[in-house]
Structure 1
Amino acid sequence: MKIQVAIPWIFILYFCCSQLSFGQAPVGQISGMVIDRDSRQPLIGANVSLEVSGELKGATTDVNGYFELRAIPVGRREITVTYLGYDPYRSGSFMLTSGRELYFEIEMQTSVLMTGEVVVRPERSDSDPLNTFTLVSSRSFTVEETERYAASVNDPGRLAVGFPGVQPQRDTRTDIFIRGNSASGINWRLMGIDIPNPNHFARIGSSGGGISIFSASLLSTSDFSGGAFPAEYGNAISGVFDMRFRRGNMNRRAYTLRAGILGLDLAAEGPLKKGRSSYLINYRYSTLGILNELGIHLVGERISNTFQDISFNVTWSDESNRHQFALWGIGGISRENESVKSNRGEWRTYTDYQSYEFDTDMGATGLSHTYLINDKSYLVSSIAAMGQQIAFAYDTTSPENLIYRVDDQIHRDNRIALSSIYHRRTASGIRLKVGFQGSWMFYDFYRQRYNFESKEQQRIIDGNGNTGLLQAFVQASWNPHPRWNLSAGLRSVLFLLNDSYSIEPRFGAAYSLSDQKIMTFAYGIHSIMVPPGSYFVSGPEAGNPYPNIGLDLIKSHHFILGYQWDFAPGWRAGLEFYFQHLRNVPIVDDVNRTYWLLNEIQSFATEPLVSKGKGYNRGIDITLERFFSSGIFMILSGSVFRSEYEPLDGNRYPTQFDSRYAGTLMGGYEWQIAENQSLQLGAKVIYTAGLPIMPLSEEAGRINDRDPPLDESNPFSIQVKDYFRTDLRIAWRRNNPNNSWLLALDLQNAGSRRNIDIVRRQFDPDLNQWVYNKMAGITPILSFQLEF
């Protein structure tokens, strides 16, 4: 593959000019608030400090819990906070630059004391989840991590492929398969509200896409959960991304400019009223269209695409700071099309003369209100409006150059969502959450496909209207002893479309064996709606227009047992055993059929189904992590597992995601190469055993080469070649007196191995077998970031 890279000359000019900057040594600014984790009340007089070249610099919080650290030399820093009656807080390593003031909202946890015994609990680490009700299979991640790990390119989904239990399978997409589950089992949440799939080029029935709509300029530290999550999370059976926006700078205006092979970003932030309110906004415009014109196609040589997005967060509070508000939003549009092969002499399979148009739009905006009731409780209420539209149009071209529409799909899902969650810490030390979450859906699902046998268009999905999803939960956490942390909850779900419901108990426990070792356990019942278009499959009988309308919620029992060992400063090893039992999975009501809806990677159902299928996932995840220290950072994860399903015949078969083995190593090293300059090198190695696929029927070549019949008697008995990819990264950062910049080059698939794309496969009638498309070779991603 010939590599062509276009670099904006204006940024090269700035880069060269910045070498001539002189003056005082660059310094950075840090500000923030220190609050009680359970009541969000400010902690007055907390001691905030950091160490610079052996010298301690510090500040004390004021009556609003606010602190400032000014004129701090740039570079790697860590903040420590102490306050009487609270566990000490230590931040992870972060990069302080001269281009942007850093803001921290530090939540401190009350100490657990017991008369007659001194017990030292393990210190919180960089990756511990922000949600302290979460005890297993979860971690937090920072914006900097989405940047510094090779080929993550500021995308939470691309970072998550290195987390334990995740099975990456495609270069160009971020579909997250967790522990043998379909990507449709993930729930995305932003600022406490469940939102549609926040990815450009999002696929129907999936939770991933090509590129995240989230902007690195707005994201704050967020959580990723991979199973047995607490009761406040619903409508998910495999994982949750709990995303948060940071607030803008409340003291001065600042700007960030990013330019790279994927697009141009411009972010702005600053105070509306100094010290009390702020704004933060980012706009991104894709340069992929320009690259396509230059003959550079990152997804496929016949595929062109472009996108743009915007994100914002406006925050303010009243004079007493008891009423805090956030007006936030995110939105993106993306367009993709594929043309037919220009050389008709090369037409061999159906996809050679197939073309398509693929459009996706997504948006969500909300208003959140936090009311600090007293020193033991607070209430967070939110209202949001959101929507998503996904449209596919597939055409085929005849030898006479006539174009025919063969598949037309529309997915529209608009929602109004409400959420109200009450938090309280009781006198006995029990932490309590009680909440209600409701959404009203306005939907329009449509699919029409050409039947080549009957020579007519066939309506497959057709439904429009509105319905609601109502959810409520109660959740409690208790430390009966400094070594014990217990969490229990109950969630109820009601889907008004067909009155299906679920009552879901959740329980978790963590026991500190020492100040370095923890045993954990969690159990929970979880449920999720069927991918919504599947409810509106058109029925073959006039008296039953929607045979799938009564499909039940898919339910899942999660069991997880874990062990965590912080065996040396900055190092952590983890081990988790898990078992998952799925029920009510839609299948065909025929003992001779083995179709199971959750085997779909990106689609709705196309035929009548019943909620009688079962599934079983079991395995072991192993993790070794080096938190950023002395310039070194690393995550090594490995999984051994089985994923099976059971249709009506009572036999167990491998699922579409039963690759059985997966492993990822990602990390790097950073060092100072000169005063105020640093260099970072990173690498990522991904291995996943090949996914199994359905074999072809013996009559495939004689019936239909466009949609050949499959051999359901032996489902998923063919395994494609293993997926293997190596990514590299080099990044150079420089701080100047009034700005800072970062120049980075990520090489995705640096070894240029052309992995098989199992989704983009087609039947070759001459060979009477599947023919697979191959994914791209080495893909350079050059980026330049300027903060000022």
Structure 2
Amino acid sequence: MRWINLCIFMGLMLPTLWAQNTQEIRGRVLDKTSKQPLVGVTVLLFESDPVLATVTDFDGFYRLEVPLGRQQIEARYLGYEPFLSKPLIVSRAKELTLDIELLEAVQETGEVTVTAAAASSGNEAINELSVVSTRSFSVEETERYAASINDPGRMVMAFPGVQANQDTENDIIIRGNSAVGVLWRVEGLDIANPSHFARPATTGGGITVFSASLLSNSDFSTGAFAAEYGNAFSGAFDVRFRKGNLEKREYTFRAGLIGIDFAAEGPIKKGRSSYLINYRYSTMGLLAKGGLYVVRENASNTFQDLSFNLYFSGPKNKNRFTIFGMGGLSQEYWWMLPKDRWKNSLDYVWDANTSNMGVLGTTYTRLIDDKSFFKMSAGVGTNYLNDYQIEPTVAADSIYWLERNNFLTTKFSWHGVYSRKINRQLRIKAGLISTYHLWDLEYGLFQGDSLGYQNYLGQFTPGPRRPLTAAYFDPAQVGDIPTFDGEGELGTAFSQQAYAQASYHLNEKFTINAGAHFLFLALNQDWALDPRLSMRYELSQNTKFTFAYGLHSKMQPFGTYMLSFEGADGALYQPNKNLKFTRAHHLIAGLEQMLTPRLRLQVEGYFQQLYNVPISTDPNSNFWFYNLRDNYGTIPMLSEGKGQNYGVDLTLEQFFGKGFFMLFTASAFRSTFKAWEQDYRPARLDNRFSSSLMATKEFVFKNGGVLQLGIKTFFRGGLHHPQADIEASRELGAFVEDQEAAFDASFPPYFRLDTRLAYRKDLKNFSYTIGLDIQNTTNKRDNWRSVEYDRNLQTIVLDPNTGFLPILSFQVNF
């Protein structure tokens, strides 16, 4: 009788015990092209034994109970290509929602078996029209990669074709192209620079405002991208937000040396609508007071941001509506060190920098019929940059204003997309993007004692020189920014983009995508029509060949168009207003080979020809706009410059399996420029070679804990830099470039090692992760990033990157 009772007890308890070590994954399976739900799709746990599987219901929804730990989900459906997700972390504390989009196969086949090779382990682009130089990434990757600190901008630095050039900045340098050429798109809206500590006229900064809690799987393209991406010539980020939990309230708390982070999500109306919100506050300013400096011992950085996504669905989910937003505030303060410690201008610079941004948008998706849908995105985005920079005179008894900028830009955007699946072989997609731009720009610069202070945007008076007082050595006084009388350069402009593209599958092996993108700017009536073409041929399940050509056009920053100069008659004129779009031909050919079911080799060769690049109107000048690190320029320009980027990218990737992941990339390339009739010369970003290695190993313990060890290394050629004409610089009191030498000189090679140590554990009602990321683990201090002229020393000084930086973090999900 005891044994019978024990068996009954165990039979009742086993489901409970099983439930304690499992979690539910749920979501919806849709047709990738029409967004219609798919009924009867088999959804199962990858390589499970016995098989754990379920099928989707009439509305395409599924629920699957899976064991805790790192898992992958696959989907099988007759007539559709197989799907395999990226590795997912399944924990007790947080339910997972995984929406799956399947692409209809050209020929209806029988039963298929999913392998890592067949589905490329989830790294294929979400956008089916992006078949070349594009890969998707997940939020888990932004957390897993060593020293990426949940920032997609820093994470992709280890991707093929991307060169890491800075320690403290997340500028995305793709195949030798300036970061100016990168497009950021969020939920269908093209946005400006999404980074804290942003700089004018570029897309980089310190760390993006994107919250890891809001990110969904997104795409990153490095060349010859699809026709729907315009006003960019370098790369494209297509960022997507996920919807909050539709059934249960959940919370995430993160704390670390960088700051604190809190996220909440849950249903508004169960099963139909949800909220997801995240707030992050940086404590880097407090670290500086404690003696730990992220940038330098006389620099303090603080930031905070707020992001949210509200999701609503109509009856039968034919109408979907979202309201999303993100905003960030950041300040960077520099104060002067004591006079006896002055070695170069970095020791006595006084700088107060503010960088704020915000985006508020909405999307509406309508399923028109079983083969087509329409999606609309609309919103407003604004960016505000304010910077005051001061240096003492050579006598060190007074100060003058070195640089001042005050930039406010706003744009209202609307993006409509129509997509239709004509049949199994042909899909079409077309869209229209309308944007209204507004700006209020002020920019002035001290250019040496003989030239003095000059306004380039707006008109204001910097005031007389002031005595050097103790306030400039006090960090508490740095935030007291003085004001000036004057007005900025006010302006508005309208831009229009339109695109159409089609994907045609000749058979199950050969796919061709073709389209065109149109760009128009009413400010100067400039326009461009860019053709795009890409092809993929699958020789076998393990071997693919790709080819792409695209012409890409990019507007100049509005501050560059509006630069003002004083003519011989004393009147102001704007010679740059009629600058043309920069245009770039992209040509890419690639091979992808699966060496084993989880080991992939990819090789891509590329050639880019840039033209219409702004250069100086002086035929003796070597000025080329994209050699600038940032800002709008200070000279009259014309669209006569050219550039060439060409090289080979190699990728060897071990997909995550059996607790191990590895990504090795190597590039050999040239980045050159040409001004006037001169020969092609090395550009600032002509590193010649670049390589990176990322690897992660996880150890699973019997108690359910997981230890994670990770490394990330960068090794590349040094940045090229301008050489100074020393005598002319001393005479002027400012940096004067040697026009003959241009960017022929370069820094020594750059090397950096980042490491990660983390421990993850599931408990009954919550899970936690403790992590330690170390940037520049070897404390290499001779990674130089720029060369400057020091007015007090009257010589050239080098600006270094940062040294050893540990980042401790603690995360709780409950």
The Cα of 1:708 is off from its aligned counterpart by 2.1
- CA–CA distance in structure 1, aligned partners of residues 729 and 379 of structure 2: 51
Which amino acid in structure 1 is aligned with residue 545 of structure 2? M
CA deviations on 1:362-392 (whole Å, 9 max, x unpaired) are: 1101110000000100000011111001111
CA gap of 1:263–1:698, structure 2 versus 1, over 3 A, is: closer
1:53-68 maps to which residues of 2 (within 5 A)? Answer: 54-68=49-63
The Cα of 1:480 is off from its aligned counterpart by 0.8
The Cα of 1:233 is off from its aligned counterpart by 0.1
Which amino acid in structure 2 is aligned with residue 84 of structure 1? L
Which amino acid in structure 1 is aligned with residue 174 of structure 2? I
Tell me which residue corresponds to 1:79: 73
Tell me which residue corresponds to 1:43: 38
CA deviations on 1:309-338 (whole Å, 9 max, x unpaired) are: 011000011112111011111110000010
- CA–CA distance in structure 2, aligned partners of residues 53 and 559 of structure 1: 42
Tell me which residue corresponds to 1:169: 165
CA deviations on 1:183-227 (whole Å, 9 max, x unpaired) are: 111011100111111110011122111112100000011111000
Tell me which residue corresponds to 2:776: 749
Which amino acid in structure 2 is aligned with residue 97 of structure 1? S
CA gap of 1:164–1:428, structure 2 versus 1, over 3 A, is: closer
Structure 1 stretch 181-190 or stretch 452-461: which is displaced more?
452-461
Task: Tell whether the 8 Å contact from 2:91 to 2:762 is kept in structure 1 after alignment.
Answer: yes
Task: Tell whether the 8 Å contact from 1:298 to 1:779 is kept in structure 2 after alignment.
Answer: yes
Tell me which residue corresponds to 1:635: 663
Tell me which residue corresponds to 1:180: 176
Which amino acid in structure 2 is aligned with residue 562 of structure 1? G
Task: Tell whether the 8 Å contact from 1:461 to 1:606 is kept in structure 2 after alignment.
Answer: no
1:640-655 maps to which residues of 2 (within 5 A)? Answer: 640-655=668-683
- CA–CA distance in structure 2, aligned partners of residues 413 and 200 of structure 1: 16
Structure 2 residue 95 is the aligned partner of structure 1 residue 101: yes
Tell me which residue corresponds to 1:129: 125
Which amino acid in structure 2 is aligned with residue 364 of structure 1? V
Q: Tell me the SS of whatever aligns to 2:566.
A: coil
Which amino acid in structure 2 is aligned with residue 63 of structure 1? F
1:354-365 maps to which residues of 2 (within 5 A)? Answer: 354-365=349-360
CA deviations on 1:744-778 (whole Å, 9 max, x unpaired) are: 10111111111333236444775x65221322221
CA deviations on 1:394-449 (whole Å, 9 max, x unpaired) are: 11235575443221111211010000000000036311001001110111121112
- CA–CA distance in structure 2, aligned partners of residues 135 and 740 of structure 1: 38
Task: Tell whether the 8 Å contact from 1:349 to 1:762 is kept in structure 2 after alignment.
Answer: no
Which amino acid in structure 2 is aligned with residue 416 of structure 1? F
CA gap of 1:279–1:710, structure 2 versus 1, over 3 A, is: same
| Equivalent of 1:380 in 375, 379, 395 | 375
CA gap of 1:81–1:433, structure 2 versus 1, over 3 A, is: same
The Cα of 1:52 is off from its aligned counterpart by 8.1
Tell me which residue corresponds to 1:12: none
Tell me which residue corresponds to 1:7: none
CA gap of 1:694–1:192, structure 2 versus 1, over 3 A, is: same
CA gap of 1:155–1:276, structure 2 versus 1, over 3 A, is: same
Structure 2 residue 563 is the aligned partner of structure 1 residue 537: yes
Tell me which residue corresponds to 2:800: 774
| Equivalent of 1:413 in 399, 409, 416 | 409
1:140-219 maps to which residues of 2 (within 5 A)? Answer: 140-219=136-215
CA deviations on 1:705-764 (whole Å, 9 max, x unpaired) are: 4x2211111211211111100011111000112111111101111111113332364447
Task: Tell whether the 8 Å contact from 2:774 to 2:806 is kept in structure 1 after alignment.
Answer: yes
CA gap of 1:400–1:557, structure 2 versus 1, over 3 A, is: closer
Structure 2 residue 234 is the aligned partner of structure 1 residue 238: yes
Tell me which residue corresponds to 1:13: none
The Cα of 1:544 is off from its aligned counterpart by 5.7
Task: Tell whether the 8 Å contact from 1:420 to 1:435 is kept in structure 2 after alignment.
Answer: yes
CA gap of 1:543–1:319, structure 2 versus 1, over 3 A, is: same
- CA–CA distance in structure 2, aligned partners of residues 273 and 346 of structure 1: 62
Tell me which residue corresponds to 1:289: 285
Structure 2 length-normalised TM: 0.91
Task: Tell whether the 8 Å contact from 1:490 to 1:503 is kept in structure 2 after alignment.
Answer: yes
- CA–CA distance in structure 1, aligned partners of residues 795 and 149 of structure 2: 37
- CA–CA distance in structure 2, aligned partners of residues 651 and 221 of structure 1: 44
The Cα of 1:93 is off from its aligned counterpart by 1.8
The Cα of 1:654 is off from its aligned counterpart by 0.7
- CA–CA distance in structure 2, aligned partners of residues 730 and 205 of structure 1: 37
Q: Tell me the SS of whatever aligns to 2:540.
A: coil
The Cα of 1:505 is off from its aligned counterpart by 0.3
- CA–CA distance in structure 2, aligned partners of residues 630 and 370 of structure 1: 39
Structure 2 residue 114 is the aligned partner of structure 1 residue 88: no
The Cα of 1:575 is off from its aligned counterpart by 0.5
| Equivalent of 2:620 in 588, 592, 609 | 592
Which amino acid in structure 2 is aligned with residue 721 of structure 1? P
CA deviations on 1:47-68 (whole Å, 9 max, x unpaired) are: 2111686222222212221111
- CA–CA distance in structure 1, aligned partners of residues 691 and 452 of structure 2: 47
Tell me which residue corresponds to 1:479: 505
Which amino acid in structure 2 is aligned with residue 693 of structure 1? H
Task: Tell whether the 8 Å contact from 1:315 to 1:325 is kept in structure 2 after alignment.
Answer: yes
| Equivalent of 1:574 in 590, 599, 602 | 602
Tell me which residue corresponds to 1:228: 224
Which amino acid in structure 2 is aligned with residue 733 of structure 1? R
| Equivalent of 2:747 in 720, 731, 734 | 720
The Cα of 1:592 is off from its aligned counterpart by 1.0
Task: Tell whether the 8 Å contact from 2:554 to 2:582 is kept in structure 1 after alignment.
Answer: yes
Structure 1 stretch 616-625 or stretch 587-596: which is displaced more?
587-596
Which amino acid in structure 2 is aligned with residue 474 of structure 1? A
- CA–CA distance in structure 2, aligned partners of residues 517 and 253 of structure 1: 45
Q: Tell me the SS of whatever aligns to 2:180.
A: helix
Task: Tell whether the 8 Å contact from 2:721 to 2:786 is kept in structure 1 after alignment.
Answer: no
Q: Tell me the SS of whatever aligns to 1:315.
A: strand
Structure 2 residue 307 is the aligned partner of structure 1 residue 311: yes
- CA–CA distance in structure 1, aligned partners of residues 128 and 729 of structure 2: 56
CA RMSD of aligned residues (A): 2.0
Tell me which residue corresponds to 1:6: none
- CA–CA distance in structure 2, aligned partners of residues 588 and 224 of structure 1: 33
1:279-678 maps to which residues of 2 (within 5 A)? Answer: 279-342=275-338, 344-398=339-393, 402-427=398-423, 429-454=425-450, 456-462=452-458, 463-541=489-567, 542=570, 545-678=573-706
Corresponding residue pairs, total:
762
The Cα of 1:650 is off from its aligned counterpart by 2.9
The Cα of 1:350 is off from its aligned counterpart by 4.1
CA gap of 1:500–1:439, structure 2 versus 1, over 3 A, is: same
Task: Tell whether the 8 Å contact from 2:770 to 2:809 is kept in structure 1 after alignment.
Answer: yes
- CA–CA distance in structure 1, aligned partners of residues 47 and 589 of structure 2: 41
- CA–CA distance in structure 1, aligned partners of residues 229 and 18 of structure 2: 52
- CA–CA distance in structure 1, aligned partners of residues 119 and 659 of structure 2: 20
The Cα of 1:346 is off from its aligned counterpart by 3.3
Tell me which residue corresponds to 1:8: none
Tell me which residue corresponds to 2:718: 690
Task: Tell whether the 8 Å contact from 2:735 to 2:789 is kept in structure 1 after alignment.
Answer: no
Fraction of identical pairs, as percent: 40
- CA–CA distance in structure 1, aligned partners of residues 313 and 803 of structure 2: 51
- CA–CA distance in structure 2, aligned partners of residues 764 and 640 of structure 1: 38
Task: Tell whether the 8 Å contact from 2:354 to 2:385 is kept in structure 1 after alignment.
Answer: yes
CA gap of 1:656–1:51, structure 2 versus 1, over 3 A, is: closer
Task: Tell whether the 8 Å contact from 2:267 to 2:273 is kept in structure 1 after alignment.
Answer: yes
Task: Tell whether the 8 Å contact from 2:451 to 2:732 is kept in structure 1 after alignment.
Answer: no
Q: Tell me the SS of whatever aligns to 1:390.
A: strand
The Cα of 1:703 is off from its aligned counterpart by 1.2
Which amino acid in structure 1 is aligned with residue 77 of structure 2? Y
Task: Tell whether the 8 Å contact from 2:787 to 2:797 is kept in structure 1 after alignment.
Answer: no
